[in-house]
Homo-oligomer: A and B are copies of this chain.
Protein backbone atom coordinates (compact mmCIF):
# COMPACT_ATOMS: atom_id res chain seq x y z
CA UNK A 1 0.00 0.00 0.00
CA UNK A 2 2.78 2.43 0.91
CA UNK A 3 4.46 1.73 -2.42
CA UNK A 4 1.30 2.20 -4.42
CA UNK A 5 0.43 5.45 -2.67
CA UNK A 6 4.05 6.57 -3.05
CA UNK A 7 3.78 6.16 -6.80
CA UNK A 8 0.74 8.45 -6.79
CA UNK A 9 1.98 11.27 -4.58
CA UNK A 10 5.69 10.66 -3.99
CA UNK A 11 7.15 8.24 -1.47
CA UNK A 12 8.21 11.08 0.84
CA UNK A 13 4.55 12.04 1.27
CA UNK A 14 3.40 8.66 2.48
CA UNK A 15 4.00 7.84 6.15
CA UNK A 16 3.61 4.83 8.32
CA UNK A 17 1.51 5.26 11.42
CA UNK A 18 2.99 3.50 14.42
CA UNK A 19 0.91 3.29 17.59
CA UNK A 20 2.12 6.64 18.89
CA UNK A 21 1.57 8.51 15.63
CA UNK A 22 -0.44 11.71 16.05
CA UNK A 23 -2.40 10.65 12.98
CA UNK A 24 -4.08 7.92 15.01
CA UNK A 25 -5.96 10.30 17.33
CA UNK A 26 -7.51 13.73 17.58
CA UNK A 27 -7.85 16.30 20.36
CA UNK A 28 -10.64 14.46 22.17
CA UNK A 29 -8.29 12.51 24.42
CA UNK A 30 -11.16 10.23 25.29
CA UNK A 31 -9.88 6.86 26.46
CA UNK A 32 -10.48 4.06 24.03
CA UNK A 33 -10.61 6.45 21.13
CA UNK A 34 -7.48 5.51 19.29
CA UNK A 35 -7.24 4.24 15.77
CA UNK A 36 -4.50 2.65 13.76
CA UNK A 37 -3.95 3.90 10.24
CA UNK A 38 -2.46 1.54 7.69
CA UNK A 39 -0.85 4.56 6.07
CA UNK A 40 -0.90 8.32 6.12
CA UNK A 41 -1.04 10.11 2.77
CA UNK A 42 -0.12 13.77 2.44
CA UNK A 43 -1.16 14.68 -1.10
CA UNK A 44 -0.02 18.03 -2.45
CA UNK A 45 -2.95 18.95 -4.65
CA UNK A 46 -6.64 18.29 -5.17
CA UNK A 47 -5.69 16.07 -8.09
CA UNK A 48 -3.44 13.97 -5.84
CA UNK A 49 -6.24 13.70 -3.28
CA UNK A 50 -8.40 12.42 -6.12
CA UNK A 51 -5.76 9.86 -7.08
CA UNK A 52 -5.48 8.62 -3.50
CA UNK A 53 -9.24 8.38 -3.01
CA UNK A 54 -9.63 6.58 -6.34
CA UNK A 55 -6.93 4.07 -5.44
CA UNK A 56 -8.41 3.43 -2.00
CA UNK A 57 -11.94 3.11 -3.36
CA UNK A 58 -10.79 0.64 -5.95
CA UNK A 59 -8.92 -1.42 -3.35
CA UNK A 60 -11.63 -1.30 -0.66
CA UNK A 61 -9.45 0.70 1.69
CA UNK A 62 -11.08 3.12 4.18
CA UNK A 63 -10.32 6.81 3.64
CA UNK A 64 -10.08 9.04 6.73
CA UNK A 65 -9.74 12.73 5.82
CA UNK A 66 -7.85 14.84 8.34
CA UNK A 67 -7.49 18.56 8.87
CA UNK A 68 -5.70 20.05 11.85
CA UNK A 69 -6.59 17.19 14.17
CA UNK A 70 -8.34 19.52 16.61
CA UNK A 71 -11.63 17.62 16.62
CA UNK A 72 -13.18 16.54 19.91
CA UNK A 73 -15.36 13.61 18.84
CA UNK A 74 -12.98 11.31 16.98
CA UNK A 75 -14.05 12.39 13.49
CA UNK A 76 -10.49 12.14 12.14
CA UNK A 77 -9.50 9.00 14.02
CA UNK A 78 -8.84 5.94 11.79
CA UNK A 79 -10.95 3.57 13.90
CA UNK A 80 -11.29 1.14 11.00
CA UNK A 81 -7.73 1.47 9.79
CA UNK A 82 -7.19 2.50 6.19
CA UNK A 83 -5.48 5.59 4.85
CA UNK A 84 -5.50 8.86 6.74
CA UNK A 85 -5.61 11.52 4.02
CA UNK A 86 -4.15 14.65 5.56
CA UNK A 87 -5.03 17.88 3.77
CA UNK A 88 -2.23 19.81 5.45
CA UNK A 89 -0.20 20.31 2.26
CA UNK A 90 -3.09 21.88 0.33
CA UNK A 91 -2.21 25.38 1.46
CA UNK A 92 -2.75 27.45 -1.64
CA UNK A 93 -4.81 30.62 -1.60
CA UNK A 94 -6.26 30.28 -5.08
CA UNK A 95 -7.95 33.64 -5.13
CA UNK A 96 -8.30 36.60 -2.83
CA UNK A 97 -10.45 39.45 -4.15
CA UNK A 98 -10.83 42.11 -1.49
CA UNK A 99 -13.10 44.26 -3.66
CA UNK A 100 -15.45 41.33 -4.16
CA UNK A 101 -15.33 40.19 -0.51
CA UNK A 102 -14.18 36.67 -1.21
CA UNK A 103 -11.39 34.16 -0.95
CA UNK A 104 -10.85 30.75 -2.56
CA UNK A 105 -8.59 28.64 -0.39
CA UNK A 106 -7.47 25.05 -0.30
CA UNK A 107 -8.54 22.86 2.57
CA UNK A 108 -5.19 22.96 4.32
CA UNK A 109 -5.06 26.70 4.94
CA UNK A 110 -5.15 27.41 8.66
CA UNK A 111 -8.35 29.03 9.87
CA UNK A 112 -6.31 31.67 11.63
CA UNK A 113 -4.64 32.50 8.31
CA UNK A 114 -8.02 32.86 6.61
CA UNK A 115 -9.01 35.30 9.36
CA UNK A 116 -5.70 37.14 9.11
CA UNK A 117 -5.76 37.42 5.32
CA UNK A 118 -9.26 38.81 5.48
CA UNK A 119 -8.26 41.34 8.15
CA UNK A 120 -5.17 42.45 6.24
CA UNK A 121 -7.38 43.21 3.27
CA UNK A 122 -9.97 45.27 5.10
CA UNK A 123 -12.35 42.35 5.41
CA UNK A 124 -13.74 40.05 8.04
CA UNK A 125 -14.15 36.28 8.08
CA UNK A 126 -16.79 35.86 10.73
CA UNK A 127 -16.53 32.23 11.92
CA UNK A 128 -14.24 31.84 14.92
CA UNK A 129 -14.31 28.28 16.23
CA UNK A 130 -11.84 27.41 18.96
CA UNK A 131 -8.35 26.15 18.12
CA UNK A 132 -8.14 28.34 15.02
CA UNK A 133 -4.35 28.41 15.36
CA UNK A 134 -4.23 24.73 14.49
CA UNK A 135 -7.47 23.92 12.75
CA UNK A 136 -7.57 23.92 8.96
CA UNK A 137 -10.37 25.60 7.07
CA UNK A 138 -11.29 22.34 5.33
CA UNK A 139 -11.92 20.71 8.68
CA UNK A 140 -13.97 23.68 9.85
CA UNK A 141 -16.16 23.37 6.77
CA UNK A 142 -16.34 19.57 7.02
CA UNK A 143 -17.62 19.89 10.60
CA UNK A 144 -19.57 23.13 10.04
CA UNK A 145 -17.76 24.55 13.03
CA UNK A 146 -19.33 27.27 15.16
CA UNK A 147 -17.86 29.58 17.75
CA UNK A 148 -19.06 32.60 19.75
CA UNK A 149 -19.69 34.91 16.79
CA UNK A 150 -22.05 32.44 15.17
CA UNK A 151 -24.77 34.21 17.14
CA UNK A 152 -24.75 37.20 14.81
CA UNK A 153 -22.89 35.81 11.85
CA UNK A 154 -23.92 32.18 11.62
CA UNK A 155 -21.77 29.05 11.58
CA UNK A 156 -19.00 28.31 9.09
CA UNK A 157 -21.36 26.94 6.45
CA UNK A 158 -23.11 30.31 6.17
CA UNK A 159 -19.94 31.69 4.55
CA UNK A 160 -19.24 28.87 2.12
CA UNK A 161 -20.12 29.83 -1.46
CA UNK A 162 -18.71 26.70 -3.02
CA UNK A 163 -17.01 23.44 -2.18
CA UNK A 164 -14.50 21.45 -4.23
CA UNK A 165 -14.52 17.85 -3.09
CA UNK A 166 -13.45 14.40 -4.14
CA UNK A 167 -16.51 12.19 -4.31
CA UNK A 168 -16.52 8.40 -4.52
CA UNK A 169 -15.29 6.52 -6.44
CA UNK A 170 -12.72 9.23 -7.11
CA UNK A 171 -14.14 12.26 -8.93
CA UNK A 172 -13.10 15.83 -8.26
CA UNK A 173 -16.21 18.02 -8.44
CA UNK A 174 -17.14 21.55 -7.56
CA UNK A 175 -20.55 22.49 -6.20
CA UNK A 176 -21.49 26.14 -5.91
CA UNK A 177 -19.35 29.07 -6.92
CA UNK A 178 -19.29 32.85 -6.90
CA UNK A 179 -22.78 33.29 -8.34
CA UNK A 180 -24.60 34.38 -5.20
CA UNK A 181 -28.00 33.02 -6.13
CA UNK A 182 -28.27 29.46 -7.33
CA UNK A 183 -31.16 27.02 -7.06
CA UNK A 184 -30.27 24.92 -10.10
CA UNK A 185 -29.72 21.69 -8.15
CA UNK A 186 -30.49 20.26 -4.74
CA UNK A 187 -28.37 21.84 -2.05
CA UNK A 188 -25.54 19.32 -2.25
CA UNK A 189 -23.10 21.99 -1.09
CA UNK A 190 -24.85 22.16 2.28
CA UNK A 191 -24.86 18.36 2.46
CA UNK A 192 -21.07 18.30 2.11
CA UNK A 193 -20.67 21.05 4.70
CA UNK A 194 -20.76 19.31 8.08
CA UNK A 195 -20.61 15.81 6.60
CA UNK A 196 -17.33 15.10 8.42
CA UNK A 197 -15.66 13.41 5.48
CA UNK A 198 -18.33 10.74 5.24
CA UNK A 199 -19.72 11.96 1.89
CA UNK A 200 -16.56 13.26 0.25
CA UNK A 201 -13.17 14.81 0.87
CA UNK A 202 -13.22 18.61 0.75
CA UNK A 203 -10.16 19.94 -1.08
CA UNK A 204 -10.98 23.66 -1.42
CA UNK A 205 -13.64 26.14 -0.38
CA UNK A 206 -14.88 29.44 -1.72
CA UNK A 207 -15.50 31.74 1.23
CA UNK A 208 -17.57 34.87 1.39
CA UNK A 209 -16.22 37.68 3.54
CA UNK A 210 -17.64 40.91 4.92
CA UNK A 211 -16.21 44.42 5.06
CA UNK A 212 -14.28 44.77 8.32
CA UNK A 213 -16.25 45.84 11.35
CA UNK A 214 -15.19 49.29 12.45
CA UNK A 215 -15.49 48.58 16.17
CA UNK A 216 -16.14 45.72 18.52
CA UNK A 217 -16.76 46.32 22.22
CA UNK A 218 -16.94 43.76 24.99
CA UNK A 219 -18.89 43.71 28.22
CA UNK A 220 -18.85 41.21 31.04
CA UNK A 221 -22.10 41.09 32.95
CA UNK A 222 -21.86 39.41 36.36
CA UNK A 223 -25.06 38.06 37.85
CA UNK A 224 -25.98 36.48 41.15
CA UNK A 225 -27.07 33.14 39.80
CA UNK A 226 -28.18 31.09 36.83
CA UNK A 227 -31.77 32.28 36.98
CA UNK A 228 -30.71 35.92 36.83
CA UNK A 229 -28.15 35.16 34.13
CA UNK A 230 -30.53 33.34 31.82
CA UNK A 231 -33.17 36.03 32.36
CA UNK A 232 -30.65 38.73 31.49
CA UNK A 233 -29.67 36.85 28.36
CA UNK A 234 -33.30 36.73 27.22
CA UNK A 235 -33.72 40.39 28.10
CA UNK A 236 -30.88 41.31 25.74
CA UNK A 237 -32.61 39.52 22.86
CA UNK A 238 -36.05 40.87 23.77
CA UNK A 239 -34.49 44.34 23.85
CA UNK A 240 -33.89 44.02 20.12
CA UNK A 241 -30.13 44.09 20.58
CA UNK A 242 -28.07 41.99 18.17
CA UNK A 243 -24.86 41.10 19.98
CA UNK A 244 -22.04 39.66 17.89
CA UNK A 245 -21.42 37.18 20.72
CA UNK A 246 -23.27 36.34 23.92
CA UNK A 247 -21.34 33.67 25.81
CA UNK A 248 -22.02 32.51 29.36
CA UNK A 249 -20.30 30.72 32.18
CA UNK A 250 -22.09 29.31 35.18
CA UNK A 251 -21.12 29.84 38.80
CA UNK A 252 -18.98 26.74 39.17
CA UNK A 253 -17.06 27.49 35.99
CA UNK A 254 -16.65 31.07 37.14
CA UNK A 255 -15.20 29.91 40.45
CA UNK A 256 -12.58 27.86 38.58
CA UNK A 257 -11.53 30.51 36.09
CA UNK A 258 -11.95 33.69 38.18
CA UNK A 259 -8.25 33.81 38.96
CA UNK A 260 -7.36 34.29 35.32
CA UNK A 261 -9.95 36.99 34.66
CA UNK A 262 -8.34 40.17 33.36
CA UNK A 263 -10.09 42.30 35.98
CA UNK A 264 -12.03 41.86 39.19
CA UNK A 265 -14.69 39.17 39.60
CA UNK A 266 -17.19 40.40 42.21
CA UNK A 267 -17.62 38.08 45.18
CA UNK A 268 -21.38 37.85 44.74
CA UNK A 269 -21.16 36.73 41.10
CA UNK A 270 -22.62 33.29 40.41
CA UNK A 271 -22.98 33.54 36.64
CA UNK A 272 -21.52 35.70 33.91
CA UNK A 273 -22.32 36.79 30.38
CA UNK A 274 -19.65 37.81 27.88
CA UNK A 275 -21.23 40.19 25.45
CA UNK A 276 -19.64 41.56 22.33
CA UNK A 277 -21.29 44.21 20.20
CA UNK A 278 -19.93 45.51 16.93
CA UNK A 279 -20.47 47.69 13.89
CA UNK A 280 -19.67 51.35 13.38
CA UNK A 281 -18.39 53.15 16.45
CA UNK A 282 -21.76 54.80 17.13
CA UNK A 283 -23.64 51.59 16.55
CA UNK A 284 -21.40 49.52 18.81
CA UNK A 285 -21.56 52.15 21.56
CA UNK A 286 -25.29 52.37 21.29
CA UNK A 287 -25.64 48.59 21.47
CA UNK A 288 -23.32 48.52 24.47
CA UNK A 289 -25.39 51.19 26.22
CA UNK A 290 -28.55 49.26 25.40
CA UNK A 291 -27.11 46.10 26.95
CA UNK A 292 -26.14 47.99 30.09
CA UNK A 293 -29.59 49.51 30.22
CA UNK A 294 -31.41 46.22 29.74
CA UNK A 295 -29.42 44.08 32.17
CA UNK A 296 -28.59 46.86 34.63
CA UNK A 297 -31.15 46.06 37.31
CA UNK A 298 -30.36 42.35 37.25
CA UNK A 299 -26.57 42.64 37.21
CA UNK A 300 -24.27 42.35 40.22
CA UNK A 301 -21.67 44.28 38.26
CA UNK A 302 -20.84 45.13 34.67
CA UNK A 303 -17.26 45.24 33.52
CA UNK A 304 -16.14 46.90 30.32
CA UNK A 305 -12.69 45.51 29.64
CA UNK A 306 -10.59 47.71 27.41
CA UNK A 307 -8.61 44.74 26.10
CA UNK A 308 -11.07 42.60 24.19
CA UNK A 309 -8.28 40.27 23.12
CA UNK A 310 -7.39 39.49 26.75
CA UNK A 311 -11.03 38.72 27.46
CA UNK A 312 -11.30 36.20 24.63
CA UNK A 313 -7.96 34.64 25.58
CA UNK A 314 -9.41 34.17 29.06
CA UNK A 315 -12.47 32.60 27.45
CA UNK A 316 -10.22 30.22 25.50
CA UNK A 317 -8.56 29.12 28.74
CA UNK A 318 -11.71 27.60 30.28
CA UNK A 319 -11.20 24.21 28.70
CA UNK A 320 -7.71 23.78 30.10
CA UNK A 321 -8.42 25.26 33.52
CA UNK A 322 -11.52 23.13 34.09
CA UNK A 323 -9.63 20.02 32.94
CA UNK A 324 -6.99 20.72 35.57
CA UNK A 325 -9.39 20.98 38.52
CA UNK A 326 -9.88 17.27 39.02
CA UNK A 327 -7.48 15.72 36.52
CA UNK A 328 -9.89 15.36 33.67
CA UNK A 329 -13.33 16.32 32.47
CA UNK A 330 -15.95 15.12 30.04
CA UNK A 331 -17.63 17.92 28.09
CA UNK A 332 -20.59 17.37 25.83
CA UNK A 333 -21.37 19.97 23.20
CA UNK A 334 -25.16 20.29 22.97
CA UNK A 335 -27.68 23.03 22.30
CA UNK A 336 -31.12 24.01 23.53
CA UNK A 337 -33.67 26.48 22.25
CA UNK A 338 -32.43 29.61 24.01
CA UNK A 339 -35.50 30.02 26.23
CA UNK A 340 -34.83 26.52 27.59
CA UNK A 341 -31.20 27.19 28.40
CA UNK A 342 -31.92 27.67 32.11
CA UNK A 343 -34.01 24.52 32.24
CA UNK A 344 -31.32 22.55 30.40
CA UNK A 345 -28.53 23.78 32.67
CA UNK A 346 -30.50 23.07 35.85
CA UNK A 347 -31.44 19.58 34.85
CA UNK A 348 -27.95 18.76 33.65
CA UNK A 349 -26.60 19.70 37.09
CA UNK A 350 -29.27 17.51 38.71
CA UNK A 351 -28.33 14.57 36.49
CA UNK A 352 -24.64 14.95 37.30
CA UNK A 353 -25.35 15.26 41.02
CA UNK A 354 -27.45 12.10 40.99
CA UNK A 355 -24.44 10.32 39.52
CA UNK A 356 -22.15 11.81 42.16
CA UNK A 357 -20.20 14.04 39.78
CA UNK A 358 -19.39 17.70 40.00
CA UNK A 359 -20.62 19.60 36.96
CA UNK A 360 -20.21 22.97 35.35
CA UNK A 361 -21.19 24.54 32.06
CA UNK A 362 -20.22 27.35 29.76
CA UNK A 363 -20.82 28.09 26.14
CA UNK A 364 -22.44 30.29 23.56
CA UNK A 365 -25.55 31.23 25.49
CA UNK A 366 -27.26 33.32 22.83
CA UNK A 367 -27.22 30.27 20.60
CA UNK A 368 -28.33 28.01 23.48
CA UNK A 369 -25.05 26.16 22.93
CA UNK A 370 -23.72 24.51 26.10
CA UNK A 371 -20.48 22.72 26.79
CA UNK A 372 -21.94 20.58 29.57
CA UNK A 373 -19.10 19.29 31.67
CA UNK A 374 -18.48 16.82 34.47
CA UNK A 375 -15.20 16.62 36.34
CA UNK A 376 -13.62 13.20 36.63
CA UNK A 377 -10.51 11.63 37.99
CA UNK A 378 -9.10 9.85 34.92
CA UNK A 379 -7.81 7.00 37.11
CA UNK A 380 -11.24 6.15 38.51
CA UNK A 381 -13.24 3.79 36.36
CA UNK A 382 -16.41 4.45 38.36
CA UNK A 383 -16.25 8.17 37.62
CA UNK A 384 -15.65 7.54 33.94
CA UNK A 385 -18.63 5.19 33.90
CA UNK A 386 -20.72 7.77 35.75
CA UNK A 387 -19.73 10.42 33.19
CA UNK A 388 -20.89 8.08 30.45
CA UNK A 389 -24.25 7.68 32.19
CA UNK A 390 -24.58 11.44 32.64
CA UNK A 391 -23.98 11.88 28.93
CA UNK A 392 -26.67 9.38 28.02
CA UNK A 393 -29.21 11.16 30.23
CA UNK A 394 -28.14 14.53 28.92
CA UNK A 395 -28.81 13.44 25.34
CA UNK A 396 -32.28 12.30 26.34
CA UNK A 397 -32.86 15.62 28.05
CA UNK A 398 -31.73 17.42 24.90
CA UNK A 399 -34.22 15.40 22.88
CA UNK A 400 -37.07 16.28 25.25
CA UNK A 401 -36.18 19.97 25.19
CA UNK A 402 -35.94 19.95 21.38
CA UNK A 403 -32.28 20.82 21.32
CA UNK A 404 -29.41 19.23 19.43
CA UNK A 405 -27.15 16.43 20.63
CA UNK A 406 -24.36 17.87 18.46
CA UNK A 407 -24.19 21.64 18.26
CA UNK A 408 -20.83 22.65 16.85
CA UNK A 409 -18.23 19.93 17.51
CA UNK A 410 -19.61 17.31 15.17
CA UNK A 411 -20.73 13.72 15.66
CA UNK A 412 -17.58 11.79 14.85
CA UNK A 413 -17.42 8.47 16.66
CA UNK A 414 -18.43 9.63 20.12
CA UNK A 415 -21.91 10.80 19.18
CA UNK A 416 -22.72 8.07 16.70
CA UNK A 417 -26.25 6.74 16.95
CA UNK A 418 -27.74 9.73 18.77
CA UNK A 419 -29.65 11.21 15.85
CA UNK A 420 -32.79 9.27 16.74
CA UNK A 421 -33.07 11.50 19.83
CA UNK A 422 -33.88 14.33 17.43
CA UNK A 423 -35.18 12.99 14.15
CA UNK A 424 -38.15 10.91 13.12
CA UNK A 425 -37.50 7.41 11.82
CA UNK A 426 -38.00 8.30 8.15
CA UNK A 427 -35.54 11.19 8.39
CA UNK A 428 -32.97 8.97 10.09
CA UNK A 429 -33.41 6.47 7.28
CA UNK A 430 -32.84 9.22 4.70
CA UNK A 431 -29.63 10.26 6.47
CA UNK A 432 -28.42 6.70 5.89
CA UNK A 433 -29.67 6.57 2.31
CA UNK A 434 -27.83 9.79 1.50
CA UNK A 435 -24.66 8.19 2.86
CA UNK A 436 -25.18 5.14 0.66
CA UNK A 437 -25.76 7.25 -2.44
CA UNK A 438 -22.52 9.16 -1.91
CA UNK A 439 -20.48 6.23 -0.66
CA UNK A 440 -21.87 2.90 -1.84
CA UNK A 441 -18.87 0.94 -0.53
CA UNK A 442 -18.91 2.64 2.86
CA UNK A 443 -15.24 3.59 2.66
CA UNK A 444 -15.44 7.34 3.30
CA UNK A 445 -14.59 7.87 6.96
CA UNK A 446 -16.37 4.69 8.04
CA UNK A 447 -18.02 4.63 11.46
CA UNK A 448 -18.36 8.42 11.63
CA UNK A 449 -21.52 10.54 11.80
CA UNK A 450 -23.64 7.40 12.03
CA UNK A 451 -27.36 8.00 12.54
CA UNK A 452 -27.76 4.56 14.10
CA UNK A 453 -25.19 2.20 15.48
CA UNK A 454 -24.69 -0.99 13.53
CA UNK A 455 -25.76 -4.38 14.75
Contact = CB atoms under 8 A, between A and B. Distances in A.
Contact of A338 (B100, B193, B427, B449): B100
A404 B191 CA distance: 19
Interface residues of A, number: 92
A401 to B, nearest CB: 9
Nearest to A235: B99
A293 to B, nearest CB: 15
A240 interface: yes
Interface stretch (A247-255, A384-392, A415-423): A415-423
Contact of A408 (B181, B406, B423, B438): B181
Interface in A68-105: 97-101
Given A100-B234, A150-B180, 11 more contacts: A99-B237, A122-B240, A143-B183, A157-B187, A167-B427, A179-B404, A181-B335, A183-B408, A183-B411, A184-B405, A184-B406
Contacts of A423: 173, 175, 184-185
Interface string A397-419: 00000111111111100010011
A180 B338 contact: yes
A212 B240 CA distance: 8
A186 B173 contact: no
Interface of A: 97-101, 122, 143-144, 146, 150-151, 155, 157-158, 167, 171-175, 177-188, 190-191, 193-195, 199, 210-212, 234, 237-238, 240-242, 279-280, 282-283, 286, 335-339, 364, 366-369, 402-411, 415, 418-419, 422-428, 430-431, 433-438, 449, 451
A281 to B, nearest CB: 10
A419 B185 contact: yes
A171 B419 contact: no
A304 B332 CA distance: 53
Nearest to A405: B184
Contacts of A338: 100, 178, 180
A283 to B, nearest CB: 6
Contacts of A172: 424
A181 B283 contact: no
B404 A184 contact: yes
Which residue of A151, A191, A336, A451 has the most chain B CB atoms within 10 A of its CB atom? Answer: A191
Contacts of A191: 186-187, 190-191
Contacts of A405: 184
17 contacts: A97-B339, A100-B234, A101-B237, A143-B183, A146-B181, A175-B423, A175-B427, A178-B337, A178-B338, A179-B407, A180-B366, A183-B406, A184-B423, A185-B419, A186-B449, A188-B430, A191-B191
Contact of A181 (B155, B171, B187, B195): B155
Given A184-B406, A187-B187, A427 B179 contact: no
A423 B335 CA distance: 35
Contacts of A182: 335, 404, 406-407, 422
A433 B437 contact: yes
A339 B122 CA distance: 19
Contacts of A158: 158
A216 to B, nearest CB: 15
B368 A179 contact: yes
